[in-house]
Amino acid sequence: MTANAASPNHLQLTRDGQLRHFLTLDGLGRELLTDILDTADSFIEVGERSIKKVPLLRGLTVVNLFFEASTRTRSTFELAAKRLSADVLNLDINTSATSKGESLSDTLLNLEAMASDMFVVRHAQSGAPHFIAESVTPGVAIINAGDGRHAHPTQAMLDMLTIRQHKGGFEGLKVAIVGDILHSRVARSQIRALNELGAEQVRVIAPGTLLPNDVESLGCTVEYDMAKGMKDVDVVIMLRLQKERMEGALLPSEREFYRLYGLSQEKLALAHPECIVMHPGPINRGVEIESAVADGPQSVILNQVTNGIAIRMAVMSMAMGGQVAERQQKLNEITERGQA
Amino acid sequence: MSALLDVEQLMDKLETGLKDLLKERGIESPLVIGIRTGGVWVADIIGKRLGVEEPFGQLDISFYRDDFSRIGLNPKVTPSSLPFDTEGRDIILVDDVIMSGRTIRAAMNELFDYGRPASIILATLIDLGARELPIRPDVAGQALTLDAAQRVKLRGPDPLWIEIQSADQ
Amino acid sequence: MNGNDNNSGASLKITGGRLLNGHGDEVSNTALLIKNGRIAATGAKAESADADQSVDATGCVIAPGFVDLYCNLREPGNGQKGNMVSEARAAARGGFTTVCVSPETSPVNDSRAVTNLIKDSAYVSSPIRVLPVGALTRGLDGELLSDMSGLTAAGCVAVGNGSRGVSNARVLRRCLAYAQTFGLTVMLRPENQSLAADGYAHDGLVSARLGLLGIPEVAETAALMEMLLLAEETGARLHLSQISCGRSVEMIAEARRRGIAVTCDVAMHQLVYTEDALSSFDSRFHLRPPLRSEADRQALVAGVRSGVVDAIVSQHLPHESAAKQAPLPDTEPGLSSIESVLSLGLGLVQAGELSLAELVRALTTGPASVIGVNATLEQDEVADLCIFDPDAQWTPSRQSLISAGHHAPALNRSIPGVVRHTYIEGREAWVSG
């Protein structure tokens, strides 16, 4: 017997299969992911105009609800919302506010009273955006800006956009993701996207302590030895390593980690000659990646930042579009029933 | 019912009308911009007939439509492409069919986000009337009045032909 | 149980039902006569007897009242999450006539005073028999021995650690040795706390995909092995409570072969749901131990069939709704399950995974033997029984549930199995609609 709960897609897709929330890449098909990338391409063109703004979300209010500090991600979401002509409210709700006793449900009730149309949510707990999407008034779109170890779907999609720009597509691609997979919401979303978009091989390269149990079930192969893992890869994605990992007995030292899993020019030389180097940032130079590689010709780390705004504009306008279309559909149905 | 209008004939009329207008206004090097998708096909042909040397531009007005709040975003939006600077230039904005005028409103809003053109001339292959906004084509291939149930659509790009459909079929 | 015994002198005749006695014997279309709280006659003799009252049980199963070895009635407590009135009545609705309540009350049941408080409250407010389980360590802190002998004298049927651990093996060894002195049954939920850490989901496919903090299987099996070895060494009567892994079933079977006095139970929902229940972050299924893999589920069901698993428990843990309305990791673990145990079990019977006799055994004679009470429907035995219609459907919902906890495993959908009557010592504890 399975639990009688809605699957993530009942939550994030309309009946017609359009986005109405953007919570996870789980269950989103290749066509929809490709639509997101294509729409983002159009927004990249908008970003090259003298006026980099379109009127799609004019009159709507977007609330950046960040329960976990992240200036970078919040800024790109803010800029994306503004370029869509939305009004933007930034709320950094540090965890101390929640420890004062107000529950997340109560916080949400207060925010809804401000007539918000979209919440962009960053939260330290896996599943928090899901919970919010289940709790909010219909018509309000929820965008996941990173939840716990679960998902960071906009980051993964901007990475896919970067890969597509450099490699033309995903067929036949060999991609290595290196570092702390266990704690990485980015890696989970990337592995999912790469599988759905048709990459030939996704390899995760990490020591056993930084890999979740059953990691292969996500759609990847495991390599402990970076030299083997780097062989012939077209794309290498380096993950950020948090300093706390030393304290939890997951790693002996940053030095040892860098020696084994840091991306140096020597290790990069083992990859395909046209291999691109990616990193979701912020970078720990000398821990995950050598400066010469981060700033080198194969690095596309800066492209990733530009693409971040376009992807977020795409996802926000698509989810809001799904919500308004659904609302209109319901109104039409009520009118028709009234006439019948 | 599917009636055929002669595209060639309409193109000729459009070409003549535009040449006259450009001459009258003293415009020597206009830019041609078509609205996706039908308008782009027409822009391609008209641009060549007018001897415009610069490549024609393409506008996708999906981000500027006024019905986003009712139908959401077009899932198949493609990037607009204006391979030139529009600042201070004379522009011929081309679409296949004009009716309510809402598409043109959106297209002009989008155009102004690229810069301030010196002028815009609106050219459409077919003018169906039934306007909802104070916008009219400067040059049209043909004015046409349809029944409420009829729709007209430019098919193409090769060959280009005009289809008139009856909704009751 | 309340002192209202105005009908205990009256006789009651139940006819037309299918009698399952808990040992697997089954008699269809039979009768039962109850007098003075005991079973006065069965079969033809009961059929022909005159009675003050009679109940037609046609289409229903007559079974011994269910016995729950692990539930929480939330009394004493702050009342938000439930109380004796709501939760004992919910249990009666579930067909239970005897429930063992976890020592994890507020305050913890580590003294005669709290044991007496529970008994007094049950006497006044509970339609069924409530048996306290005393705390194994003071305050359930896993550091100091509780007054086990005194707790037993006050009425505790066993001692246990509730859902908390005794992380210090030396303390655990002494607890078992001390309990053994008095021949007490020690109910322990095996969980190595440092391995379970901050986890809230099975460390497996779903936690890998959703990035949930996992509790590995070894958190249970490592603790379980330690408990088995300590029980073997001290000779204590060990009951392993709420196991969740297939491997645990194997280890317990092996220990029994070696002659260790060990019994065990599993929560009904562990037999029905798996880690998949968390796929969309449904906080109801935030449980401790977590729902595990499909292979584990199947092994646990097989354990019930083979008898290695002695009992199925409700692991009823009611909460106020706010405790479940938060992002998954921030919610409190537990299901409001006691009203649904039979229905979930009948689902397994319908699916061919358990026979009705195996289900009834694991809800009656199995658990009863762990705490040394009777649960058979035979001449002169105490008339604790329930009459349920296995084919009738009901829909658990916020409105229909009696428990203060509305986080039932099946919600707003129809499930089989309606308890028509529950009798304790011949008195009616529950009658439906």
Per-residue confidence (pLDDT) for residue C32, from 0 to 100? 94
Nearest CA in chain C to A4: C410
Same domain, C152 and C170: yes
Q: Which residues of B fall within a CB distance of 8 Å from A39?
A: 73, 75, 77
pLDDT tens profile C241-265: 999 999 999 999 999 999 998 999 9
**C346 found inside a domain:** yes
Q: How far apart are CA C309 and CA C357, in angstroms?
A: 14
Look at residues B52, B14, B59, B1 and name the one whose alpha carbon lies nearest to residue B160: B14
Question: Is A127 in contact with C327 (Cβ distance < 8 A)?
Answer: yes
User: Is residue C282 within 8 angstroms of chain A, CB to CB?
Assistant: yes
Same domain, C350 and C392: no
Which distant-in-sequence residues (6+ apart) come within 8 Å of A93 by Cβ? A65, A66, A67, A107
Query: Going edge to edge, which strands form the sheet with B150-155?
Result: B3-5, B161-166, B150-155
Per-residue confidence (pLDDT) for residue A7, from 0 to 100? 57
Same domain, C422 and C320: no
**A55 found inside a domain:** yes
Mean pLDDT of A118-124: 95
CATH (domain of A144): 3.40.50.1370
Same domain, A46 and A122: yes
Q: Which residues of C fall within a CB distance of 8 Å from A102?
A: none
Same domain, A163 and A141: no
Integer angstrom CA distances of residue C413 from B80, C121, C418 = 51, 34, 14
**C1 found inside a domain:** no
State pTM to two decimals.
0.92
Q: Is the dihedral of CA A34, A35, A40, A45 positive or negative?
A: positive
**B126 found inside a domain:** yes
User: Is residue C295 within 8 angstroms of chain A, CB to CB?
Assistant: no
Q: Which residues of A fall within a CB distance of 8 Å from B83?
A: none
Question: Is A318 in contact with B73 (Cβ distance < 8 A)?
Answer: yes
Per-residue confidence (pLDDT) for residue C8, from 0 to 100? 52
Same domain, C226 and C286: yes
pLDDT interval class at A3 (50, 70, 90)? very low
Same domain, C277 and C349: yes
Mean pLDDT of C180-203: 96
Same domain, A88 and A26: yes
Q: Is the pLDDT of residue A305 over 90?
A: no
CATH (domain of B11): 3.40.50.2020
* Facing residue for A127 by CB, picked from C284, C328, C410: C328
**B81 found inside a domain:** no
pLDDT tens profile A241-288: 987 777 788 999 999 999 999 999 999 999 999 999 999 888 999 999
Against chain A, the chains showing at least 3 CB pairs within 8 Å are B, C
Helix (H) or strand (E) holding B33: strand B31-35
Per-residue confidence (pLDDT) for residue B5, from 0 to 100? 80
Per-residue confidence (pLDDT) for residue A282, from 0 to 100? 87
Per-residue confidence (pLDDT) for residue A98, from 0 to 100? 53
Nearest CA in chain B to A14: B72
Q: Is the dihedral of CA C53, C59, C63, C66 positive or negative?
A: negative
Mean pLDDT of A86-96: 82
pLDDT interval class at B150 (50, 70, 90)? confident
Last residue of a domain, one of C320, C348, C370: C370
Nearest CA in chain A to C210: A150
> Which value, in Å, is the radius of gyration of the alpha carbons in chain C?
21
* Facing residue for B75 by CB, picked from A35, A45, A324: A35
Integer angstrom CA distances of residue C322 from C85, C335, C406 = 21, 14, 11
Against chain B, the chains showing at least 3 CB pairs within 8 Å are A
Mean pLDDT of A153-178: 97
* Facing residue for C285 by CB, picked from A3, A7, A125: A3
Structure tokens at C375: 């649960």
Structure tokens at A246: 């030393």
- Phi (first) and psi of residue A254, to 5 degrees: -65, -35
pLDDT tens profile B44-54: 999 999 999 99
Same domain, A93 and A26: yes
Q: How far apart are CA C152 and CA C406, in angstroms?
A: 33
Question: Is C208 in contact with A217 (Cβ distance < 8 A)?
Answer: yes
Q: How far apart are CA A285 and CA C46, in angstroms?
A: 86
Per-residue confidence (pLDDT) for residue C100, from 0 to 100? 98
What single string gives the DSSP state of each residue in C144-174? SB--HHHHHHHT-SEEE-TT-----HHHHHH
Chains B and C are touching, with contact defined as 3 or more CB–CB pairs separated by less than 8 Å: no
Q: Which residues of A fall within a CB distance of 8 Å from B112?
A: 51
Question: Is C281 in contact with A213 (Cβ distance < 8 A)?
Answer: no
Q: How many CB atoms lie within 10 A of CB C278?
A: 27
Per-residue confidence (pLDDT) for residue A99, from 0 to 100? 52
Mean pLDDT of B156-164: 88
pLDDT tens profile B76-109: 899 999 999 999 999 999 999 999 999 999 999 9
Same domain, C166 and C246: yes
Structure tokens at A265: 């020019």
What single string gives the DSSP state of each residue in C166-232? ---HHHHHHHHHHHHHTT-EEEE----HHHHTT--EETTHHHHHHTPPEE-HHHHHHHHHHHHHHHH
Which one of C194, C200, C209 would you mutate to disrupt binding with A, by most A Cβ within 10 Å of its Cβ?
C209
pLDDT tens profile A36-45: 999 999 999 9
**C28 found inside a domain:** yes
Same domain, C197 and C343: yes
Same domain, C180 and C326: yes
- Structural domain boundaries enclosing C19: 12-62+381-431
pLDDT interval class at A6 (50, 70, 90)? very low
Question: Is A328 in contact with B71 (Cβ distance < 8 A)?
Answer: yes
- B47 Cα to chain A: minimum distance (Å): 23
Question: Is C411 in contact with A4 (Cβ distance < 8 A)?
Answer: yes
Per-residue confidence (pLDDT) for residue C354, from 0 to 100? 97
Mean pLDDT of C270-290: 97
- Structural domain boundaries enclosing A324: 8-151+305-336
Expressed in angstroms, the distance from the first to the final Cα of chain A is 40
Top-confidence residue, C9 or C424:
C424
**C141 found inside a domain:** yes
Q: How far apart are CA C271 and CA C267, in angstroms?
A: 7
Per-residue confidence (pLDDT) for residue C6, from 0 to 100? 44
Same domain, C225 and C356: yes
Decide if B22 contacts B14 (C-beta within 8 A): no
Q: Is the pLDDT of residue A2 over 80?
A: no
Mean pLDDT of C32-45: 94
Same domain, A129 and A224: no
Q: What's the whole-number average pLDDT of chain C?
A: 95
**C193 found inside a domain:** yes
* Facing residue for A324 by CB, picked from B72, B76, B87: B72
Q: How far apart are CA A257 and CA A253, in angstroms?
A: 6
Number of domains composing chain B: 1
Q: Where are the alpha helices (DSSP H) in C258-339?
A: 268-272, 294-306
Same domain, A48 and A143: yes
pLDDT tens profile A13-34: 999 899 999 999 999 999 999 9
Q: Which residues of C fall within a CB distance of 8 Å from A212?
A: 203, 207-208, 211, 214
Mean pLDDT of C128-146: 97
- Amino acid in the structure at residue A166: H
Per-residue confidence (pLDDT) for residue C58, from 0 to 100? 94
Q: Is the pLDDT of residue A135 over 70?
A: yes
Mean pLDDT of C271-281: 97
Q: How far apart are CA C300 and CA C306, in angstroms?
A: 10
Q: How far apart are CA A238 and CA A90, in angstroms?
A: 29
Q: Is B73 helix (H, G, I), strand (E, B) or coil?
A: coil
- Structural domain boundaries enclosing B21: 3-62+87-166
Look at residues A277, A263, A266, A73 and name the one whose alpha carbon lies nearest to residue A179: A263
Q: Is the pLDDT of residue A96 over 90?
A: no
Q: How far apart are CA A97 and CA A94, in angstroms?
A: 6
Nearest CA in chain B to A313: B63
Mean pLDDT of A57-80: 93
**A88 found inside a domain:** yes
**A1 found inside a domain:** no
**C5 found inside a domain:** no
**C179 found inside a domain:** yes
Percent of chain A whose pLDDT exceeds 70: 96
Question: Is A45 in contact with B75 (Cβ distance < 8 A)?
Answer: no
pLDDT tens profile A193-249: 999 999 999 999 999 999 999 999 999 999 999 999 999 999 999 999 987 777 788
Q: What's the whole-number average pLDDT of chain A?
A: 91
Number of domains composing chain C: 2
Q: Between β-strands B150-155 and B161-166, what pairing exists: parallel, antiparallel or unpaired?
A: antiparallel
Top-confidence residue, B149 or C300:
C300
Integer angstrom CA distances of residue C67 from A26, A69, A83 = 42, 51, 64
Size of interface A-C (CB pairs under 8 A): 103
CATH (domain of C406): 2.30.40.10
**A3 found inside a domain:** no
Mean pLDDT of C43-50: 91
Number of domains composing chain A: 2
Three-class SS of chain A: CCCCCCCHHHHHECCCCCECCECCCCCCCHHHHHHHHHHHHHHHHHCCCCCCCCCCCCCCEEEEEECCCCHHHHHHHHHHHHHCCCEEEEEECCHHHHHCCCCHHHHHHHHHCCCCCEEEEEECCCCHHHHHHHHCCCCCEEEEEEECCCECHHHHHHHHHHHHHHHCCCECCEEEEECCCCCCHHHHHHHHHHHHHCECEEEEECCHHHCCCCHHHHCCEEECCHHHHCCCCCEEEECCCCCHHHHCCCCCCHHHHHHHHCECHHHHCCCCCCCEEECCCCCCECCCECHHHHCCCCECHHHHHHHHHHHHHHHHHHHHHHHHHHHHHHHHHHHHHHHC
Which one of A19, A43, A45, A161 would you mutate to disrupt binding with B, by most B Cβ within 10 Å of its Cβ?
A45
**C2 found inside a domain:** no
Question: Is B71 in contact with A56 (Cβ distance < 8 A)?
Answer: no
Decide if B46 contacts B81 (C-beta within 8 A): no
Same domain, A146 and A160: no
Which distant-in-sequence residues (6+ apart) come within 8 Å of A339 by Cβ? none
Same domain, A189 and A222: yes
Last residue of a domain, one of C370, C403, C422: C370
Does a cis peptide bond (omega within 30 degrees of 0) precede residue C76?
yes
